[in-house]
Amino acid sequence: METAALASIHWHDERFKYDCEARNQTVEQACFHHFYGKNEITIVDLGSGTGSNCLYFFEKFPSQQNWIFIEQEEKISQYALNRLGIEADKKGYEITHGTNSLVLKKENRNINIRYITDSFLNLVDLVDLDKVDLVMASAVFDLISFSQFVDFGSVLLEKKLPLLTTLNYAEMNFNSDTPTDVVFIEKYESFMNRSQEFGKAMGKKCPRILVDFFQKQEAKIEYGPSIWKLEGESAQVMNHHLLNFMESASNQMMEDQDDRMLFKDWITSKREAVEDGELDTYVQYYDLFVSNK
């Protein structure tokens, strides 16, 4: 049985292709425009996972880059550096590995990456934010409570730090007209929005809450949808990942035994459709870039 860390690695790697295809180009260009003409940039990546943000952006940002990964699982960060080294080598970079760092060099490009093993909620104690140009995050804010985000967002505003983030979930649907789709998607969403020891996670309300928060603070905002399209046989692995997430949540989603039986039949039928290449899934996220006016 795979460990939680290994499962997270598989999930991050599988989703990379779909994340890249889904990125909102208007939001992305707003970020690039903000840093236009800048030769060096320091980026903090919150919940950095397997380094997908860096892998996507390191040839798009200025030639001199300093990346600081903040990730709670050290094994995942170590994997991220190895992954980035392999991919950069394919692009002709000179690779230098350190204990918890990586340097990529090619011609006039110099990219320094290091990781910190900790919670991103401790950001102010981990990084000198006066030396940071951009904070980046993917699929983390919807997992925390609004009060936790207010503390975090207020620091960004105080330090006048731009934020580029993908907000992990707005809605999901399948290419089917099965009435139970709506029922079980709603139950899954309620699980994502459940109360935890730190309070109630923002879940699917996160995009609306964050946009409203920054608008009220009179920050400059560019945001828009980014949509995963998991279609046909090529998306079988990702569709299975999503169904597995729904199943693992089912015990907390439902207490009624009849509901559990209906869910078991429903998810079995979905898995069969995946195997036949007949299940298409659409998951809508939001991309958001926040800067000071």
* Separation between Cα atoms, residue 252 and residue 256, nearest integer Å: 11
Range 226-252 average pLDDT: 86
Neighbours of 97 (CB within 10 A): 11
Q: Is residue 39 part of a domain?
A: yes
Q: Is residue 22 part of a domain?
A: yes
DSSP state of 129: G
Nearest alpha-carbon partner for 287 in 70, 21, 49: 21
* Separation between Cα atoms, residue 154 and residue 7, nearest integer Å: 33
- Give the model's confidence band at 198: pLDDT under 50 very low, under 70 low, under 90 confident, else very high: low
Q: Is residue 248 part of a domain?
A: no
Does residue 60 register a pLDDT over 80? yes
* pLDDT in the model for residue 5: 59
Exposed, middle or buried: residue 73 (CB in 10 Å: 0-12, 13-18, 19+)? middle
Asked whether 241 and 7 are in contact (CB, 8 A), the reply is: no
Q: Is residue 225 part of a domain?
A: yes
Range 164-190 average pLDDT: 87
Does residue 172 register a pLDDT over 50? yes
Q: What are the CA-CA distances from residue 28 to residues 37, 38, 188, 203 (Å)? A: 16, 16, 30, 23
Q: Is residue 272 part of a domain?
A: no
Exposed, middle or buried: residue 220 (CB in 10 Å: 0-12, 13-18, 19+)? middle
Place of tokens 């899934």: 281
* Separation between Cα atoms, residue 66 and residue 253, nearest integer Å: 42
* Separation between Cα atoms, residue 247 and residue 267, nearest integer Å: 8
Domain total for the chain? 1
Asked whether 234 and 241 are in contact (CB, 8 A), the reply is: no
Place of tokens 């035994």: 257
Nearest alpha-carbon partner for 288 in 115, 123, 142: 142
- What is the average pLDDT score of the chain? 89
Q: β-pairing, 94-97 with 40-46?
A: unpaired
**CATH number, residue 208:** 3.40.50.150
Nearest alpha-carbon partner for 167 in 130, 192, 186: 192
Range 45-60 average pLDDT: 94
* The two structure tokens encoding residue 113: 């990456």
Range 27-36 average pLDDT: 96
- Give the model's confidence band at 1: pLDDT under 50 very low, under 70 low, under 90 confident, else very high: very low
Q: β-pairing, 101-106 with 109-117?
A: antiparallel
Q: Which domain holds residue 136?
A: 4-170+200-229+283-291
> Which stretch of 38-47, 107-116, 122-131, 249-258 has the lowest confidence by average pLDDT?
249-258
Asked whether 98 and 69 are in contact (CB, 8 A), the reply is: no
Place of tokens 């001199």: 64
pTM of the model: 0.89
